[in-house]
Structure 1
Amino acid sequence: MASRPVSPGFWRGRFFLHTRLGAGGMGEVWLAREGRGRGCGATVVIKQLLPHLARDARYVELLRREAAFTATLHHPHIVRVLGLEEVDGTLLLVMEHVPGCTLQQLAEAARLAGEALPPALGAFVLSCVCEALEYAYARSAHGEGGRVMIHGDISPSNLLLTPEGGVKVLDFGLSRPEGECAPLAATRPFAAPELLASGPVDRRADVFALGAVLLALLEHPSRAPELWALGRRASASRPHLRPASAADFQGELETFLAREPFGPRQLGRLWRRLASPRTEPETGASTTGVLERGAGGSAHVEAEPANQPVKPGPVDARGARRR
Structure 2
Amino acid sequence: MMTRVPVLFTIGNEIRYEIVRKIFEGGMGIVYEAEQKGAQEFVKRVAIKVVRQNFTSQKQFIENFIGEAKLVADLIHTNIVQTYHLGEHNGSFFIAMELIRGVNLEQFSAQLKEKRRVLAIEMAVFIASRVARGLAYAHAKTDKNGRPLGIVHRDVSFKNIMIAFEGDVKLTDFGIAKARGFLTDNEGEVVAGKADFMSPEQADFQITDKRSDLFSLGVVLSTLVLGYNIFKDSTPEKSRLRVISMAIPDFRALDRRVDDRLNKILQRALARRVTQRYPEADEVLYDLEHYIYHSGYGPTNETLGKLIRGLFGVRPEGTMSESAKGGTQVMGRTGRAGKKSEGATQRAATGATRSGGTIRRGGATARSAPKKNP
Q: Given the two structures, how large is their TM-score scaled by the length of structure 2?
A: 0.67
Which stretch shifts more, 88-97 or 100-109? 100-109
Tell me what 2:106 maps to.
104
8 A Cα contact 2:141 2:148, kept in partner = no
Select which of 204, 214, 223 maps to 1:207.
Answer: 214
Q: Distance in 1 between matches of 2:148 and 2:302?
A: 38
8 A Cα contact 1:196 1:306, kept in partner = no
Q: Distance in 2 between matches of 1:143 and 1:99?
A: 36
CA displacement 1:112-156 (0-9 Å, x = unmatched): 111011111121111111111111222236668642111111111
Q: How many residue pairs end up in the alignment?
A: 284
Tell me what 1:245 maps to.
280
Q: Given the two structures, how large is their TM-score scaled by the length of structure 1?
A: 0.77
Tell whether 2:282 aligns with 1:282: no
Q: Distance in 2 between matches of 1:305 and 1:236?
A: 24
Tell whether 2:80 aligns with 1:89: no
8 A Cα contact 2:47 2:96, kept in partner = yes
Q: Secondary structure at the match of 2:166?
A: coil
Select which of 280, 286, 291 maps to 1:256.
Answer: 291
Tell me what 1:4 maps to.
none
Q: Distance in 1 between matches of 2:59 and 2:312?
A: 39
CA displacement 1:180-202 (0-9 Å, x = unmatched): 54256212311223323443110
Q: How far off is 1:52 after superposition? A: 5.0
Structure 1 counterpart of 2:349, which letter?
Answer: T
Q: Distance in 2 between matches of 1:201 and 1:25?
A: 27
RMSD: 3.1
Tell me what 1:176 maps to.
178
Tell me what 1:312 maps to.
none
Q: How far off is 1:244 after superposition? A: 1.1
Q: Distance in 2 between matches of 1:174 and 1:106?
A: 23
8 A Cα contact 1:150 1:175, kept in partner = yes
CA displacement 1:276-298 (0-9 Å, x = unmatched): 3578432215499xxxxxxxxxx
Q: How far off is 1:56 after superposition? A: 2.4
Q: Secondary structure at the match of 1:92?
A: strand
Q: Secondary structure at the match of 1:30?
A: strand
Q: Distance in 2 between matches of 1:24 and 1:63?
A: 15
User: Are residues 25 and 73 of structure 1, via their aligned partners in 2, closer, same or farther at CA, if it must alter by over 3 Å?
Assistant: farther
Listed as ranges, the gaps of 5+ residues in structure 2 are 1-14, 227-253, 315-319, 323-345, 365-374
Q: Distance in 2 between matches of 1:87 and 1:145?
A: 34
Q: Distance in 1 between matches of 2:222 and 2:197?
A: 10
8 A Cα contact 2:49 2:353, kept in partner = no
Which stretch shifts more, 44-53 or 205-214? 44-53
Q: How far off is 1:57 after superposition? A: 1.9
8 A Cα contact 1:198 1:303, kept in partner = no
Q: Distance in 1 between matches of 2:202 and 2:300?
A: 32
User: Are residues 85 and 233 of structure 1, via their aligned partners in 2, closer, same or farther at CA, if it must alter by over 3 Å?
Assistant: same
Q: Secondary structure at the match of 1:161?
A: strand
Tell whether 2:265 aligns with 1:265: no
Q: Secondary structure at the match of 1:29?
A: strand
Q: Distance in 2 between matches of 1:221 and 1:52?
A: 48
8 A Cα contact 1:141 1:148, kept in partner = no
Tell whether 2:114 aligns with 1:58: no
Q: Secondary structure at the match of 2:310?
A: helix
Q: Secondary structure at the match of 1:120?
A: helix
CA radius of gyration, larger in: 2
Q: Secondary structure at the match of 1:67?
A: helix
Structure 1 counterpart of 2:279, which letter?
Answer: A
Q: Secondary structure at the match of 2:116?
A: coil
Q: Distance in 2 between matches of 1:207 and 1:243?
A: 7
8 A Cα contact 1:150 1:203, kept in partner = yes
Tell me what 1:29 maps to.
31
User: Are residues 189 and 69 of structure 1, via their aligned partners in 2, closer, same or farther at CA, if it must alter by over 3 Å?
Assistant: same
Q: How far off is 1:60 after superposition? A: 1.2
User: Are residues 232 and 29 of structure 1, via their aligned partners in 2, closer, same or farther at CA, if it must alter by over 3 Å?
Assistant: farther
User: Are residues 168 and 40 of structure 1, via their aligned partners in 2, closer, same or farther at CA, if it must alter by over 3 Å?
Assistant: same
Q: Distance in 2 between matches of 1:70 and 1:101?
A: 20
8 A Cα contact 2:52 2:92, kept in partner = no
Q: Distance in 2 between matches of 1:266 and 1:74?
A: 24
Q: Distance in 1 between matches of 2:127 and 2:362?
A: 29
Listed as ranges, the gaps of 5+ residues in structure 1 are 1-12, 289-298, 309-323
Select which of 175, 191, 202 maps to 1:195.
Answer: 202
